[in-house]
Structure 1
Amino acid sequence: MIDSFFKNTANQSLIYVIVAVLLILIVYFSTVQILRKFGKDPNYVIPKHAFKKVTFPLFVILFSFLLRMESLRSLVGLEDYTYEFKKASTLLFIFGLTWLILNIIKIIKNGVLEKYDVHTSDNLKARKITTQFNILERIIVFVVIVLAIGIALMSFENIREIGVSIFASAGVAGIIIGFSAQKMIGTILAGIQIAITQPIKIDDVVIVEGEWGRIEEITLTYVVIKIWDKRRLVVPSTYFIENSFQNWTKTSADILGTVFLYTDYKVPFDALRKELTRILEATDLWDGEVNNIQVTDSKANYVEVRALMSAKDSSSAWDLRVMVREKLIVFLQQNYPESLAHTRIYLNEGEVDKKGE
């Protein structure tokens, strides 16, 4: 009876399918347990929840192997659909493998970026790493998806023949497409060049088109700048390769701030210097590096006085400048009102007497 059971073709197919499903489940759950163990162990670089992003694509890949089994087709009575099952298995395998690669890339990127905090005051290295990984991730994702689509399409014989014939006669067409896509290719290459040379980085403070803001996002084709008033300025990547712009945090975040006062010639410079020192020492916005008062210009009606100070970053420098400007003006108003800029009128007493006024 047992021999007759195993000799039955349907029963053999059922056994093969059951064994294959069991093997797939064993491989799947074993992988899940291994990844969970690695995720809990702090000695490994695998993030704690990374296995969730890996196991689903892995299940799709294993399921694609099951679809290729002839026993499965025999069991469900679809022996005549061998081509369809094999193509579905191939496409499912390509999809699962692409999904797995993209998730692994994201896991690696997130694992590296977790070690760097761009929100600290001294975040130059963190911004460099973040910029490089964000752009390189987009490049790799783009390449992987294009290759996956190409491989999936080339798995069909008819499409492969069309592709070969197109490649054989693509000389003139390639030149035409190259000219028409020149701008797009140049933009993508500019994005890659930004990732390598890094004229700008994530969270850099820049002045572009007369606007002050921070680099919020860098892609292969465009850059998003967050303006100080919460507007967004979107600029093509080529702009930062072909045009001049100001980058206030290219090598470091610390920056000098200036405040200009226009006063009368009677202004007491020493008292102004002491007051500036007192103001700076009383605030945390000052980093303790630069503190100076200089007379930078003199005109017929006023003297230009520059207060120079330093701060740890551009945001602190802005707040420090507006505070110092206000307090110095109040200081002059309360203590030396004659030092405020004003217009003098000189009257000759002899001329006044002659006119009897």
Structure 2
Amino acid sequence: MTISTSVWLTVGATVLAAVLAAGVGELVALGVRRLGRTHEILATLAQRGRRPLAGLLGTLAATVALHVGTAPADWREPTLTVLGLLAVAFGAGLAVVAANVVQDVLLLRYRIDVADNRRQRQRRTQVQLVKRVVVALIVVVAAAAMLLTIPGARGVGTSVLASAGLLSVVAGLAAQTSLSNVFAGLQIAFTDGIRVDDVVVVEEEWGNIEDITLTYVVVRLWDQRRLILPSTYFTTTPFANWTRNSSDIIGTVDFETDWTTPVEELRSHAEGFVRDHPLWNGQTFALQVTDAKNSVLSFRVLVSANSGGELFDLRCAVREELVGVLRRDHPGALPRVRVETPAPVVSLPHQGSRV
């Protein structure tokens, strides 16, 4: 048997071992998927992790086959190095899939489609940010492992990691904006300053927190625009959080009328309308005259709702109803400007004049 024939047999055995191991991975994924008929999480794990698992098992099988069935040769070490890199890559991919599945499991426990979801939004924010940190660590560790796997780069990587100059490099990078945003993102997640779906007012814009990453925060504005702000904005700049302590919030409706407005009648009508409105949460209502000067009365209506979006719609409905009532039943109470014209001056005839 010639050397070339032996090499080809070894390659064939290695490929066969890899294919068989990948097939085992597919069978494992199929079994987990069968179990996932009653557990959605298992089905998701099988679907996402099928290819990384098959690749990892196939790579490990090929590595074992080469170690067992080949003698030292020029092509053996480079091949093992490539297989080692692939094994690290597939293992990192499988770890990322596991992190995503764990996130999905935890997010199912903290649903935000309930009336008071403040605690759920806090937990979801923390879970999402922790998952991003874990994925980042997996990528960094995998990159370091791949670097140390390459014989030519192993010495360079070891010397850099062991050098005292690395600390100064890390400290210098930490002062940069990118890492400052990362640290700010972690601070946001665990200090409970803002949470996903919080109602905030930033840059004179009203909206909901749509996403919180390690470096930036996405605010979905009321008109469906997205305002993207760095994480450091929320740790250095004052902003309004309407749902910091609870989901229900209070809003105002301000308007002005003439002094002839029947206040008690208007208050009774507004209270009946608000109590019957489906967006009112039954907690806060008030109609007060907040000012009376010049030719108008200033009114303020306080109403409450379960969320910022519902409060906005409720305020608009109350405003439209009061305007309609004034125009329909009390047109004289609409704001007006009174102008007083002076009385005409009558000139009396002088004494002695002839009439």
Which of the five TM-score ranges fits, normalised by the shorter chain? 0.7 to 0.9
**Shift, 1:30, TM fit:** 5.4
User: Is there any run of 5+ residues in structure 2 with no aligned partner, and where?
Assistant: 349-355
Separation (CA, whole Å) in 2 of partners of 1:275 and 1:229: 31
Q: Does residue 63 of structure 2 align to residue 70 of structure 1? A: no
Separation (CA, whole Å) in 2 of partners of 1:246 and 1:103: 37
CA contact under 8 A between 1:295 and 1:304: conserved in structure 2?
yes
**Shift, 1:227, TM fit:** 1.3
What is the aligned partner in structure 1 of residue 351 from structure 2? none
**Shift, 1:238, TM fit:** 0.6
Q: Does residue 196 of structure 2 align to residue 196 of structure 1? A: no
Q: Residue 49 of structure 1 is aligned with which of 21, 44, 48?
A: 44
**Shift, 1:78, TM fit:** 9.6
Q: Residue 289 of structure 1 is aligned with which of 277, 283, 295?
A: 283
CA contact under 8 A between 1:73 and 1:79: conserved in structure 2?
no
Helix, strand or coil for the counterpart of 2:247? coil
Separation (CA, whole Å) in 2 of partners of 1:9 and 1:158: 29
Deviates more, 1:328-337 or 1:92-101: 328-337
**Shift, 1:353, TM fit:** 4.5
**Shift, 1:40, TM fit:** 3.0
CA contact under 8 A between 1:258 and 1:321: conserved in structure 2?
yes
What is the aligned partner in structure 2 of residue 221 from structure 1? 215
Separation (CA, whole Å) in 2 of partners of 1:214 and 1:144: 31
Separation (CA, whole Å) in 2 of partners of 1:163 and 1:87: 16
**Shift, 1:268, TM fit:** 1.2
Separation (CA, whole Å) in 2 of partners of 1:181 and 1:115: 35
List aligned pairs for 1:148-227, cutoff 5 A: 148-167=142-161, 169-171=163-165, 174-175=167-168, 178-179=171-172, 181-182=174-175, 183-227=177-221
Deviates more, 1:124-133 or 1:159-168: 159-168
**Shift, 1:177, TM fit:** 6.1
Separation (CA, whole Å) in 1 of partners of 2:173 and 2:28: 48
Q: Residue 267 of structure 2 is aligned with which of 261, 264, 273?
A: 273
**Shift, 1:17, TM fit:** 5.6
Across the aligned residues of Structure 1 and Structure 2, the Cα RMSD in angstroms comes to 3.1
| Structure 1 residues 97 and 168, CA gap change in structure 2 (3 angstroms) | closer
Q: Does residue 148 of structure 2 align to residue 144 of structure 1? A: no
TM-score normalized by structure 2? 0.85
CA contact under 8 A between 1:294 and 1:307: conserved in structure 2?
yes
Helix, strand or coil for the counterpart of 1:341? coil
What is the aligned partner in structure 2 of residue 354 from structure 1? 346
What is the aligned partner in structure 2 of residue 59 from structure 1? 54
Q: Deviations over 1:12-45 (max 9, x none)?
A: 9699769956973675355335423442344xx8
CA contact under 8 A between 1:16 and 1:71: conserved in structure 2?
no
Q: Deviations over 1:235-267 (max 9, x none)?
A: 100110111101111222211121112122222
CA contact under 8 A between 2:14 and 2:66: conserved in structure 1?
no
| Structure 1 residues 207 and 327, CA gap change in structure 2 (3 angstroms) | same
List aligned pairs for 1:1-357, cutoff 5 A: 20=17, 24=21, 27-28=24-25, 31-42=28-39, 46-68=41-63, 69-70=65-66, 74=70, 79-167=73-161, 169-171=163-165, 174-175=167-168, 178-179=171-172, 181-182=174-175, 183-347=177-341, 349=343, 352-354=344-346
Letter aligned with residue 37 of structure 2: K
Letter aligned with residue 200 of structure 2: V
Separation (CA, whole Å) in 2 of partners of 1:335 and 1:288: 27
Separation (CA, whole Å) in 1 of partners of 2:7 and 2:316: 85
Separation (CA, whole Å) in 1 of partners of 2:16 and 2:163: 50
What is the aligned partner in structure 2 of residue 5 from structure 1? none
Separation (CA, whole Å) in 1 of partners of 2:11 and 2:316: 80
Q: Deviations over 1:322-357 (max 9, x none)?
A: 1211221221222222322222234565xx35369x
Separation (CA, whole Å) in 2 of partners of 1:337 and 1:23: 86
| Structure 1 residues 21 and 347, CA gap change in structure 2 (3 angstroms) | closer
Q: Deviations over 1:121-175 (max 9, x none)?
A: 433233222211111111111111011001100112321212233345552x753
| Structure 1 residues 12 and 114, CA gap change in structure 2 (3 angstroms) | same
Helix, strand or coil for the counterpart of 1:107? helix
| Structure 1 residues 46 and 328, CA gap change in structure 2 (3 angstroms) | closer
CA contact under 8 A between 2:147 and 2:157: conserved in structure 1?
no
% of aligned pairs identical?
A: 31
Separation (CA, whole Å) in 1 of partners of 2:185 and 2:92: 24
**Shift, 1:87, TM fit:** 0.5
**What count of residue pairs does the alignment treat as equivalent?**
343
**Shift, 1:216, TM fit:** 1.3
| Structure 1 residues 39 and 266, CA gap change in structure 2 (3 angstroms) | same
Helix, strand or coil for the counterpart of 1:250? coil
Letter aligned with residue 105 of structure 1: A
User: Is there any run of 5+ residues in structure 1 with no aligned partner, and where?
Assistant: 1-7
CA contact under 8 A between 2:52 and 2:90: conserved in structure 1?
yes
